[in-house]
């Protein structure tokens, strides 16, 4: 029999199946925040009357959709 605590063994097995999950979550949150902040700045520029390139606006909108979606897919499946 193994002398490892069953809870520790379960935690280690989960970590070995999905390494760096915590780091990925932090990155998805940081990227999402950055995308939303960039979109907010671009929208304020549009409302102020400054011309913004359509490609840049579409990239920001895409990032605002992509990164929270990745965070959603990366969440814990047991919960």
Query: Can you give the pTM of this predicted structure?
Result: 0.75
13-60: pLDDT as tens digits:
887 887 888 899 999 999 999 999 999 999 999 999 999 999 999 999
Q: How many CA atoms lie within 13 A of 10 on its CB side?
A: 4
Long-range contacts of 47-51 (CB under 8 A, 24+ apart): none
Q: Please determine, for residue 64, whether its predicted confidence score (pLDDT) is greater than 60.
A: yes
Give pLDDT, residue 76: 66
* pLDDT at 1 (0 to 100): 53
The CB-based long-range contact list for 31-35 (8 Å cut-off, 24+ gap) reads 31/63, 31/67, 32/64, 32/67, 32/68, 32/71, 34/63, 35/60, 35/63, 35/64, 35/66, 35/67
């Amino acid at each position: 029999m193994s002398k490892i605590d069953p809870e520790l063994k379960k935690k280690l097995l989960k970590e070995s199946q999905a390494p760096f999950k915590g780091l990925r979550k932090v990155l998805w949150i940081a990227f999402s925040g950055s995308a939303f902040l960039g979109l907010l700045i671009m929208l304020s520029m549009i409302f102020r009357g400054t011309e913004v390139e359509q490609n840049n606006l579409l990239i920001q909108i895409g990032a605002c959709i992509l990164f929270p979606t990745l965070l959603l897919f990366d969440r814990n499946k047991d919960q």
